Structure formats: structure tokens, C-alpha cells
Amino acid sequence: MHSLLWLTTAATPIPEITVDPTSVTPGPWGFGAIVVLTIAVVLLLLDMLRRVRRGRYRAEVREQLDEEELAARGDDSETR
């Protein structure tokens, strides 16, 4: 039992870094790519919101026109 406890609490050595940290960073090109990607996503989201809003407004107007048309037909049928 003590040997199992000793094995689980034994310190493991930290591996040495074998690569140069400056050669594996994304650098300015990576930063630029992330900026371009972020701008593209924001523009796509704004475009999507605009299209959804426009579609919703068109549906509301279409609904109002249908209600007005039904009301006009109802008035016409009452006058005959």
C-alpha cells in the first residue's frame, strides 16, 4: 500500500523545451490573419442581422396588407 502511495505522489520531471519559442509563434502574419478573420465574421454577422430584420419587416407588412384586404372584402360583402 505504501509503495502505491509513493508511486502516485512521486514527482515527475518537467520536460525540457527543445524548440525555440520564437520560431513557433504565429508572428505578425498570424496576428494579421486573425484580424482579417475577425473582421470577416463581424461583417457576416451584421449582414445576417440586416437580412433577418428585413425579412421580418417584410412579413409584418405582408401580414398588415392581408388584414387590410380581408377587412376591405368584409366591408364589400356587407354593403352588397
Q: What is the DSSP string of 29-80?
A: HHHHHHHHHHHHHHHHHHHHHHHHHHHHHHHHHHHHHHHHHHHHHHHHHHH-
pLDDT per position as a tens digit, 18-75: 888 777 788 899 999 999 999 999 999 999 999 999 999 999 999 999 999 999 988 7
- 12 SS3 class: coil
Q: Which amino acid is at 31?
A: F
pLDDT per position as a tens digit, 35-50: 999 999 999 999 999 9
